[in-house]
Structure 1
């Protein structure tokens, strides 16, 4: 079925109604109460007008007579002051309902926003690594920071849409009670006027598509510029990136201005035409000899109802403007779910005999074969080194061993059991991993290391720092392990980052420690410290290390040489 704005909007509304029925029922009930008291307040205008004009019992309206019966039943005399008091009380109660409705709408918004944000997060991070490598990071960031929030704002618009419909229905009941002919004429006129404005919804959807697309581009440039700030400054290209960001922002600004102007203009364009209908209704009431008090009620009710029709049209355009944000969020979630990480049901606890790679081949989409019929054994408690030129498949092999890549041919066996039969989370929780470009979080050294295992003791933390040869430089910091490292560890040297990353990896006492070019970018002193740390850890842990330098792998029990995706030598 072709995807249209209405299809996406129906899906969004249906999804919310299905998952949050009680919140919506509560919100609708409050709007219903608010509109009922609003209608009651309008009806009290008839006796107010009759009493101000001093009409006798034969000339008063039916509304006034009915209200007099109600007040008499309550033991309250029918006076101007009692009518005004009723008008005041009904308005106060109506506004009390409005306040509670506003609170409920805001609460509902964030409940639904939380549902979509966490759902999107779960779908993204349950996908295979390939999902992240194939998507633009700016689009992913924009989806979280902007588009999902737009979806949250759509909840407010939807609540306003529902409120307006309830208000129109109940407020129209008042003039229908007075003169169905006049009300029908006014309603027909309002509908005819609204028809051209419905076309604005399609235009608003196109502006929404432009807004989402330009927002993706803008966030993409911003994210890349922040992530590569050192390179941007190192090349002296700040002006170039600023120009790219400025251009992207201007495109986003133009799309936003068009969309917001269109949505806001609908109501303002509708109001003068609505006044024409009111004038016609007033003249028609005079011709039909409608009593003055009832004419006042009718005109007041129409004055509140007709602008609501314009509001309804404006809200419809706003909802269609939001639709592209919802479509992008759901599209990415669908892609992530289709690329979901396969999970076995077998929990992983310990590594017994070792890992066996049997005739494994792997190809990235649109590329030549990266691994070609690889077979090797990685015994438990030993260090296995994988060496080879750049692009020979070393990191791809590690990704295979960590379960990041789907095995196309062959298999990886852990203690004789296929890797795909294990629960991947339990397996990876027993792995320590140090990539070539180690990344630290913008928090303290302590928190960075404890991120791997939050319940680790101070003794375990100190042991991890000692094994990683990190305690020496940490003691030189005034705040010690509570030193904030900055975004991605920017306040530390490369060697210090690698040693903290190594401490983080060994804190959980992993069954398998994987080091991917962990010393390739370090100076000789830092490399020696890392090598010493690896040598001590290797006494009790199974280690797989990828490296270029012979000095890094000379302590390995087994060395595997890769060339163009094939093992050419091992021993």
Structure 2
């Protein structure tokens, strides 16, 4: 199950790997960082200009004097006073204080316009970064999913995989890369505001830093709990996504068995788990900034008291104290944003680890490097043994020869190993022991894609896509011409029903081909197998789900497609394989008989008993 895959061990490199995912977008990341830095600088500058405003309003004589009233304590204090002096020099008007105040207002207006322009441009660049990163993450994950072996899909729930592709990809981006840009932006603001405070009073700043330290302790304590509940929240989201996917896919069965109430309760249970985990996560992520704000306000009150005492005693100018308080108030908003985003970052790490469990999964089918485009002689299965990971042996000592231009049938009870052998011939799985050879070469040495191009496959469960008939038939082979598509449909006895449709070959057949009948879907599947002119045709119980009339039409299509072809046919209905050149009988993962239809009847074994049951 996917829960095993998303265990949260070995997290040391998670953050490093997140940055590696964002590497193609470093240009956008740096642009966002530069714009945010400019925004933060102007934000701090707007606060710094409060000091001249206050002095103009309450102590205009300082503006005229342009000299510091109190001795400077440190370099930053002297720099800040020099800044104020330069501002006064730039905006001072000979017409008096009101005119100077008007000039200062214009300067503030310009700064605020520029600040918001940078903020807007940063938001646009952030969207480009965000959407590009989400697309990149999804593309990489999707590419990995298509490369993973059938063993992976046998172990994992497809609804959970969909949830990881959709929900976790977005969460990783929003709660890591974007969070980092936000934290950096607001941290720059905080740094500038702290410098303003430091330039005014070291003593008052130290009192404020005590509050910041306490807030960081609270964040550190809460981080583990946030990550735990975020993990449960993401898993719960995967559970209800899985239920939703299964419901949509199986809605006919749900309605046929009056299962609406049952599936509704299951979905409600899954979504309740998500809500519970989300609430617990929110309780913690909401509690942290709330407590931090209370601590900050307490520190602010202490600063007001001590700073007010200094003003009364003449140790500090009123404008400086008010500017300090403005700066401390300005820190609170970005401070809370930073604290909130540090909490969100834990959710992003959980999503990253879930995605990395897919990207790091090594359950891929290794490909050889030999090219192959012809089938000359035979396929030999030599002493195959196979078992799934539950140690249950599925195949034991299977040895079969499949000859070119001959029709070979696999028959036997359900679960006897027929379809598993097919899966191994197509190389969905590799044997635990033994080998499969194509014309004397182990198929594991062939390039997997080129090897699979030798086959045309028609399965019991026909998978068609919500696209036109033409695109479904030429699926994966864009170079196939319309004429070749038409010829394949004629061989598959599908041309007439296609032409009877209002849009002909341009008809969109719906998800999984729901707009056409089962027999029509199978004939399209046969056309899809034939259109690439494969060396070997495989029919895996292609007529077992059809009614008698549809079965006969499809069987005629199969027979017409087999002329001068090598074919492997798996069938439960033995009447459809009587004319095969070799019939191989499976039971309990072993080959117990093989021969022609007549030879097997004469052996009076399992095949004859199956024929008697079906009155063949």
TM-score scaled by structure 2? 0.86
> Does residue 1:297 correspond to 2:284, yes or no?
no
Please show how residues 330-341 of structure 1 align to structure 2 within 5 Å: 330-334=356-360, 337-341=361-365
> Does residue 1:350 correspond to 2:374, yes or no?
yes
Please show how residues 94-493 of structure 1 align to structure 2 within 5 Å: 94-154=115-175, 155-288=177-310, 289-334=315-360, 337-493=361-517
- Give yes or no for contact 1:164–1:312 (8 Å, CA) kept in 2: yes
Match for residue 530 of structure 1?
554
Q: Secondary structure at the match of 1:279?
A: helix
Q: Measure the CA separation in 2 of the matches of 1:107 and 1:554.
A: 62
Q: Measure the CA separation in 2 of the matches of 1:201 and 1:239.
A: 39
Q: Secondary structure at the match of 1:31?
A: helix
Per-residue deviation, 1:497: 1.2
Match for residue 55 of structure 1?
61
Q: Measure the CA separation in 2 of the matches of 1:5 and 1:385.
A: 49
Q: Measure the CA separation in 1 of the matches of 2:132 and 2:470.
A: 34
Q: Measure the CA separation in 1 of the matches of 2:124 and 2:252.
A: 46
> Does residue 1:46 correspond to 2:68, yes or no?
no
Q: Measure the CA separation in 1 of the matches of 2:407 and 2:141.
A: 39
- Give yes or no for contact 2:66–2:88 (8 Å, CA) kept in 1: no
Deviates more, 1:242-251 or 1:354-363: 354-363
Per-residue deviation, 1:234: 0.9
- Give yes or no for contact 2:159–2:245 (8 Å, CA) kept in 1: yes
Q: 1:60 to 1:243 in 2, by over 3 A?
A: farther
Q: Secondary structure at the match of 1:79?
A: helix
Deviates more, 1:354-363 or 1:511-520: 354-363
Q: 1:73 to 1:66 in 2, by over 3 A?
A: same
- Give yes or no for contact 2:384–2:431 (8 Å, CA) kept in 1: yes
- Give yes or no for contact 1:44–1:86 (8 Å, CA) kept in 2: no
User: Larger Cα Rg: Structure 1 or Structure 2?
Assistant: 2
- Give yes or no for contact 1:346–1:421 (8 Å, CA) kept in 2: yes
Please show how residues 498-537 of structure 1 align to structure 2 within 5 Å: 498-537=522-561
Q: Measure the CA separation in 2 of the matches of 1:208 and 1:530.
A: 52
- Give yes or no for contact 2:171–2:347 (8 Å, CA) kept in 1: no
- Give yes or no for contact 2:92–2:103 (8 Å, CA) kept in 1: no
Q: Secondary structure at the match of 1:216?
A: helix
Per-residue deviation, 1:527: 2.1
Per-residue deviation, 1:64: 6.3
Q: Secondary structure at the match of 1:338?
A: coil
Q: 1:431 to 1:464 in 2, by over 3 A?
A: same
Unaligned 5+ residue runs, structure 1?
none
Q: 1:302 to 1:378 in 2, by over 3 A?
A: same
Q: Measure the CA separation in 2 of the matches of 1:256 and 1:137.
A: 23
Give the superposed CA RMSD. Answer: 2.5
- Give yes or no for contact 1:50–1:64 (8 Å, CA) kept in 2: no
Q: 1:527 to 1:13 in 2, by over 3 A?
A: closer
- Give yes or no for contact 2:380–2:399 (8 Å, CA) kept in 1: yes
Per-residue deviation, 1:203: 2.2
Q: Measure the CA separation in 2 of the matches of 1:93 and 1:25.
A: 19
Q: Measure the CA separation in 1 of the matches of 2:390 and 2:219.
A: 48
Q: Secondary structure at the match of 1:374?
A: strand
One of 92, 103, 113 as aligned partner of 1:82: 103
- Give yes or no for contact 2:456–2:538 (8 Å, CA) kept in 1: yes
Q: 1:429 to 1:35 in 2, by over 3 A?
A: same
Q: Secondary structure at the match of 1:55?
A: helix
TM-score scaled by structure 1? 0.93
- Give yes or no for contact 1:349–1:426 (8 Å, CA) kept in 2: yes
**Number of matched pairs:** 568
- Give yes or no for contact 1:205–1:322 (8 Å, CA) kept in 2: no
Per-residue deviation, 1:260: 3.0
Per-residue deviation, 1:405: 0.8
Q: 1:17 to 1:509 in 2, by over 3 A?
A: closer
Q: Measure the CA separation in 2 of the matches of 1:304 and 1:132.
A: 52
Q: Measure the CA separation in 1 of the matches of 2:551 and 2:215.
A: 77
Deviates more, 1:504-513 or 1:306-315: 306-315
Match for residue 83 of structure 2?
66
